[in-house]
C-alpha cells in the first residue's frame, strides 16, 4: 500500500475551506531569504513573483495584508538557540538590508509588518491580536521557507483554529525536496493547498455571491 493510500484510508487531507473574513499573510519574503548567497535559493524567487498577483488582488479587494520579518537586536541580546543552529539569522537586524522585505512586495501604508525572532509568526508576536481585532477567520499564507517559518506558522494557525490556505506556488524553500514534502504534509494535516490563481478565482466567486445576495435582499 502506498503512502498516499494510507492517508486516504485514514481520511487525512479533508478541506476546511474559506471563512467569511480572510487575510493574506506574507511570511519572511525578505532580501536575505531571496538571495542564495545569504539564506535563500531554490524556488524562493519564483514564489516571490507568484505572490505578486495574489498581493495585488488582496489590495484591490481590501483584504487585509500582513507581512512578517525576522528581526534581531544588533547586540544579539535576543538571539536564541535557533541562532545557534543557523548563525546567519542573527544578521537580520532592523536596519540590515538582508532583513528588508523584497522591493517587489514592499508593504504599503496601512499594511501590518510583524517582527519576530522565532519561526512561527505567532510566537512572541502580536499577530493573533491583530487577527482578532480585524475579525479574521481565514489565513492565506505565502512566503518562505516552506519547511521552516511557513510550516511553523501554519501549524500555529491551525492550533488557534484559523482556516488556513497555503498558496502552494507562492511559498518557497532553498531546497525542493523539503519544499515538496512539507507542502504534502501541511495539506494532509494543517491547511488546504491551492495555487494563487485558484485562490483569486475562489475569492472572486465568493465576493460576487455576496454582492448578488445583498442586491437581492
Q: What is the pLDDT of residue 207?
A: 79
170 carries an active-site annotation: no
In a domain, 36, yes or no: yes
Vertex 31: Cα angle to 25 and 37 (nearest 5): 130
What is the band of 215 on the pLDDT scale with cuts at 50, 70, 90? low
User: Domain count of the chain?
Assistant: 1
The pLDDT of residue 4: 81
Chain segment 19-77, per-residue pLDDT in tens: 999 999 999 999 999 999 999 999 999 999 999 999 999 999 999 999 999 999 999 99
Residue position matching grid coordinates 435582499: 217
More confident residue, 217 or 99: 99
Say how far apart CA 169 and CA 144 lie, in whole Å: 11
In a domain? residue 4: no
| CATH number of the domain enclosing 172 | 3.40.50.850
Euclidean distance between CA atoms 99 and 32, whole angstroms: 6
pLDDT at 208: 77
Residue 3 placed within a domain: no
Looking at the DSSP bridge assignments, the partners of residue 68 are: 27, 114
**141 is a domain residue:** yes
Q: Reduce the DSSP state of residue 194 to 3 states and report it.
A: strand
Q: Give the model's pLDDT for residue 1.
A: 52
Band (pLDDT 50/70/90 cuts) for residue 141 is: very high
Within-domain flag for 5: no
Quote the mean pLDDT of the chain. 95
Question: Cell numbers of 131, please?
Answer: 487577527
210 has pLDDT over 90 = no
Q: What is the mean pLDDT of residues 155-164?
A: 98
pLDDT of residue 211: 59
- Runs of H (alpha helix) within the chain: 3-9, 31-34, 44-60, 81-85, 127-133, 151-159, 176-189, 196-216
60: in domain: yes
Q: How far is CA 56 from the centre of its chain?
A: 16
Residue 171 DSSP SS3: strand
Give the separation between CA 141 and CA 125, rounded to whole angstroms.
17
Strands of the 112-116 sheet, one edge to the other: 112-116, 65-70, 22-27, 138-144, 163-172, 192-194
**Active-site residue identified among 83, 144, 149, 170:** 149
User: What is the domain range of residue 191?
Assistant: 17-211
216 pLDDT more than 60: no
**pLDDT score, position 3:** 66
For residue range 170-185, what is the model confidence (pLDDT) as tens digits?
999 999 999 999 999 9
* Torsion 75-156-7-19 (CA) sign: negative
Residue 85 counted as domain residue: yes
Report d(CA 99, CA 93) in Å as an integer: 6
Q: Would you say residue 44 lies in a domain?
A: yes
Pairing of strands 22-27, 112-116: unpaired
Amino acid at each position: 500500500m502506498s503512502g498516499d493510500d494510507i492517508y486516504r484510508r485514514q481520511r487525512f487531507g479533508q478541506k476546511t475551506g474559506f471563512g467569511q473574513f480572510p487575510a493574506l499573510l506574507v511570511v519572511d519574503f525578505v532580501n536575505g531569504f531571496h538571495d542564495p548567497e545569504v539564506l535563500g535559493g531554490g524556488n524562493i524567487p519564483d514564489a516571490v513573483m507568484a505572490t505578486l498577483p495574489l498581493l495585488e488582488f488582496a489590495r484591490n479587494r481590501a483584504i487585509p495584508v500582513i507581512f512578517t520579518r525576522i528581526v534581531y537586536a544588533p547586540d544579539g541580546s535576543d538571539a536564541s538557540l535557533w541562532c545557534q543552529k543557523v548563525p546567519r539569522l542573527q544578521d537580520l537586524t532592523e536596519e540590515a538590508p538582508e532583513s528588508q522585505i523584497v522591493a517587489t512586495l514592499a508593504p504599503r501604508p496601512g499594511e501590518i509588518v510583524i517582527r519576530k525572532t522565532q519561526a512561527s509568526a505567532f510566537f512572541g508576536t502580536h499577530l493573533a491580536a491583530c487577527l482578532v481585532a480585524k475579525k479574521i477567520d481565514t489565513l492565506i499564507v505565502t512566503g518562505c521557507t516552506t519547511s521552516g517559518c511557513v510550516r511553523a506558522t501554519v501549524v500555529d494557525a491551525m492550533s488557534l483554529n484559523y482556516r488556513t490556505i497555503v498558496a502552494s506556488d507562492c511559498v518557497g524553500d532553498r531546497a525542493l525536496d523539503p519544499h515538496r514534502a512539507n507542502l504534502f504534509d501541511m495539506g494532509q494535516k494543517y491547511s488546504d493547498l491551492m495555487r494563487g490563481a485558484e485562490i483569486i478565482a475562489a475569492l472572486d466567486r465568493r465576493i460576487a455571491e455576496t454582492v448578488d445576495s445583498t442586491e437581492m435582499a
